[in-house]
Amino acid sequence: MACMDLWALSDLCTPWCVHVVATLRIADHILAGNADIPQLAAASGADPDSLHRVLRHLVSKGLFEEPAPGRFALNQAARELLSGPFRLGLDLDGIGGRMAHAWGTMLSAVRTGRPAYHEAFGRGFWEDLDAHADVAASFDALMSPAGHGVPDAQVLLDPADWKSVRTVVDVGGGTGALLAEVLRAHPETRGTLVDLPRTVARSAEVLLAAGVAGRATTAAQSFFDPLPAGKDLYLLKSVLGDWPDPEAKAILRRCAEAARPSGRIVILGGVSPDDSPSPELLMMVLIGGKGRTLHEFRELAHEAGLEVRASGRQPSGRFVVECSPA
């Protein structure tokens, strides 16, 4: 690789500039008519000269335009930074800052094979969220429709299988976005949302807005404890990839215990086909999580008392794995 390419590849300046302008909501301020540097600096609480230099750097990279010296405008790329999902994930004052700074702990993570998030924030990721309600709220928001969009309710590989499903548990279901969509799509079905108390506490408005609150219950508990038992379907969406093998196996074991004898467990996210493994490096630095190939997952599931019954891609491209108690 040529020297210049390597320089561009290793440049940390641009990503930090993007995070800074997202945090300062510069795109929103420009949209509101504060386009000149003195106005922009006043509106965002920034130093005018420093902000100007950051914006000029970004203009040179194709983000924002400077139609006249010291006056900035949105281009298509900059519109992505208007308040919305992308900005939420970049905001250094919220979960975006945790994700950004966690990259600085990567050397320790690679040297030791364990997350070193505590080196940056004094405690592990989940404990850090426990200690900072505002960051936890922004994490939940990033997981919600406002962040990751409205989830796809078609969680089963064969839609005809819904005939046999009357009760669903969304394990680690965040503030209930997926459960809400599933219940909305299947009016005969009742559901239970399992997540940590602080997150479950934010689910009421999601379930109410979807018009499914009457068919939903919540269980504010850890998924390392026994789960609501005897239901037809247990969903694990974007959960297993957060955890190293021992914890992922423990969660699967809880699902297996609860689903016996005839329930099924569906994994959405965190498992990929054997020919396209995902490195999941963000999970590595944040929480020591990992992506698994289907082969790796099958072994883990087997040790947890589950058998993989089916796997495949849905029309959306999402890879889904269905299991049942062994």
Ligand X SMILES: C[S@@+](CC[C@H](N)C(=O)[O-])C[C@H]1O[C@@H](n2cnc3c(N)ncnc32)[C@H](O)[C@@H]1O
Which of 222, 140, 208 shows the shortest CA–CA distance to 175?
140
What is the smallest separation between the CB atom of 45 and ligand X, expressed in angstroms? Answer: 31
Record the tokens describing residue 207, joined without a space. 């379930």
Please state whether beta strands 271-272 and 306-313 pair in parallel, antiparallel, or not at all (unpaired). Answer: unpaired
Q: Which stretch binds ligand X (CB under 6 A): 90-98, 156-164, 219-227, 300-308?
A: 219-227
- Which CB, 105 or 238, lies closer to ligand X? 238
Q: Which stretch binds ligand X (CB under 6 A): 95-103, 170-178, 298-306, 307-315?
A: 170-178
Helix, strand, coil shares of the chain, percent, nearest 5, are 50, 15, 35
**222 counts as binding ligand X under rule CB under 6 A:** yes
Q: Which stretch binds ligand X (CB under 6 A): 7-15, 88-96, 112-120, 218-226?
A: 218-226
| Whether 2 contacts 75, CB under 8 Å | no
**173 counts as binding ligand X under rule CB under 6 A:** yes
- Which CB, 130 or 296, lies closer to ligand X? 130
Neighbours of 278 (CB within 10 A): 17
Q: Which residues pair with 310 in a beta bridge?
A: 322
Of positions 78, 196, 206, 271, contacts ligand X by CB under 6 A: 196
How many residues form the binding site for ligand X (CB under 6 A)? 16
Burial of 104 (0-12, 13-18, 19+ CB in 10 A): middle
Residue 292 phi/psi, 5-degree rounding, is: -130, 145
Q: Which stretch binds ligand X (CB under 6 A): 32-40, 87-95, 156-164, 167-175?
A: 167-175
Positive or negative: CA dihedral 68, 72, 74, 78: positive
Nearby residues of 22 by Cβ (< 8 Å), 6 or more positions away: 81, 86, 87, 90, 91, 92, 96
Of positions 141, 169, 206, 239, contacts ligand X by CB under 6 A: 239
Q: Which stretch binds ligand X (CB under 6 A): 21-29, 102-110, 220-228, 303-311?
A: 220-228
- The H-or-E segment that residue 166 falls in is none
- Which CB, 172 or 325, lies closer to ligand X? 172
- Which CB, 181 or 242, lies closer to ligand X? 242
Tell me, residue by residue from 98 to 137, as one string, x for binding to ligand X by CB under 6 A and - for no binding: ----------------------------x-----------
Which one-letter DSSP state was computed for residue 223?
T
Helices marked H in 202-244: 204-209
**238 counts as binding ligand X under rule CB under 6 A:** yes
DSSP string, 114-131: S--HHHHHSS-HHHHHHH
What is the smallest separation between the CB atom of 47 and ligand X, expressed in angstroms? Answer: 36
Q: Which stretch binds ligand X (CB under 6 A): 16-24, 153-161, 201-209, 231-239?
A: 231-239
What is the smallest separation between the CB atom of 295 and ligand X, expressed in angstroms? Answer: 23
Binding site for ligand X (CB under 6 A): 126, 143, 148, 172-174, 195-196, 199, 222-224, 237-239, 242
